[in-house]
Amino acid sequence: MSLYGMMRTGVSGMNGQANRLSTVADNIANSSTNGYKRAKTEFSTLVVPSTSGSYNSGGVTTSVRNLISTQGVLQYTTSVTDLAVEGDGFFVVQDSGGQPYLTRAGSFVLDGEGRLVNAAGFQLMGYSYANGAPAPTANGYAGLEPVTITQAEIVATPSRNGVFAGNLPLDADVVADLPSGNTATAQYSAKTSLVAYGNRGEEVLLDVYFTKTADDTWEVAVFDRADAAADTSFPYASGPLATETLTFDATTGKLTGPTTGITIPVPGGDNLDLDLSSLTQLDSAFAVADAKVDGTPPSGIESVEIGTDGIVYAQYSDGSFRPLYRIPLATVPSPDQLQVVSGNVFAEGANSGAVRIGLAGEAGLGKIVSGALENSNVDIAQELTDMIESQRSYTANSKVFQTGSELMELLVNLKR
């Protein structure tokens, strides 16, 4: 029995080394595969019960583990849609059937429908900004959709927020016939204009009048330029879009009210909240220090940028930026226990734990690097060394089997 056991042990050793050589072959073949994680063969003993005076040789069993949690070296490229994760986390992708997977292979390009797909055809998933700033679903894939960038799309954004900062002259005369009355004789202390945008991207010129009504008290009135008289003055075809009373501190000259500025209903657009908190009333001429109003005219996407937080921005032909998607990162309690699937992707399993999804740079997750790819974590020198070791061990185990076979033949021939 011990000779048969000896031969079985030799076969077990050869099988174990063959498994090791198989992982070495896989590693070498995928040494240039972006995001590939090295496979490693682990050996454990197989003990067969023995009796006193008789030893039964056992053998060896193998298990293959993938070093998924080990970071590969980042290699920088010229494509903004090449993505890498620096730190912990995986991109969430899906196949053509909608099945979600995890991957570190981030060589994404646009397909015919504008979706970002990697070399294996898996679609990158993200949260859309269509309904405002997204929040991740921590314990599942709900809310994720393929990141789609349609460069032929033309969009317009109405104005909703603005800032106006400047100085109103302290020595301005008090005016009785205010612009808010919209009479032909109306007077004002200072005037400026702002460009805003409607829902369809049309430009709307807003005439803004500042008028001193008393010491440290001013009126601000906003009109639609399209309603102005022929000389772009009073009377306008309709009254002011919005009016507000401004009060200033008599000591510092800083605005004391209102603290929220003025809300202007833009014709054909949305409400524009204009922040006036930086206005002052000092002994100086009227001056505009800052004037900003958001919104964009109709324009198409010229380029795409992806931040380290995973936000995908579209840059339009007018130079403005708009967030389209936010790419999340996923993790599991035991990444090395994930199931390896063809296409350089991973699936959660019983030993890996459940998937948790979060945002890049938060809760221990890494950051997303645009214009970079993660190389495989294979060390060719180490693989060649392992291959030589396995070859020698395989040869030694084959000698054990050969010796057992020869001894068995000798025993059989003793009967002759």
Average pLDDT of span 304-327 = 88
Measured between its terminal Cα atoms, the distance across the chain in Å is 21
Structure tokens at 326: 């936010």
Write the pLDDT tens digit of every residue in 204-220. 999 999 999 999 999 99
Indicate whether 58 pLDDT > 80: no
Q: Give CA separation, 111 vs 119, 146, 147, in Å.
A: 11, 12, 11
Nearest C-alpha neighbor of 180 from the set 121, 235, 249, 250: 235
- Model pTM score: 0.70
Class of domain 159-294: mainly beta
- Give the pLDDT confidence score for residue 415 in this predicted structure: 66
Q: Give CA separation, 81 vs 48, 155, 176, 299, 306, in Å.
A: 56, 22, 61, 22, 8
The mean predicted confidence, pLDDT, of the chain is 91
- Give the pLDDT confidence score for residue 403 in this predicted structure: 85
- Give the pLDDT confidence score for residue 8 in this predicted structure: 84
**What is the Cα–Cα distance from 204 to 296, expressed in whole angstroms?**
11
β-strand partners of 359 = 328
Band (pLDDT 50/70/90 cuts) for residue 5 is confident
Q: Who contacts 398 (Cβ-Cβ below 8 Å, separation ≥6)?
A: 10, 14
Write the pLDDT tens digit of every residue in 122-179. 999 999 998 888 988 888 899 999 999 886 667 888 999 999 999 999 999 999 999 9
Indicate whether 341 pLDDT > 90: yes
**What is the Cα–Cα distance from 343 to 340, expressed in whole angstroms?**
9
Residue at token pair 């396995």: 390
Average pLDDT of span 236-246 = 95
Indicate whether 409 pLDDT > 60: yes
- Give the pLDDT confidence score for residue 152 in this predicted structure: 62
Q: Are strands 328-331 and 74-76 parallel, antiparallel or unpaired?
A: unpaired
**What is the Cα–Cα distance from 274 to 295, expressed in whole angstroms?**
13
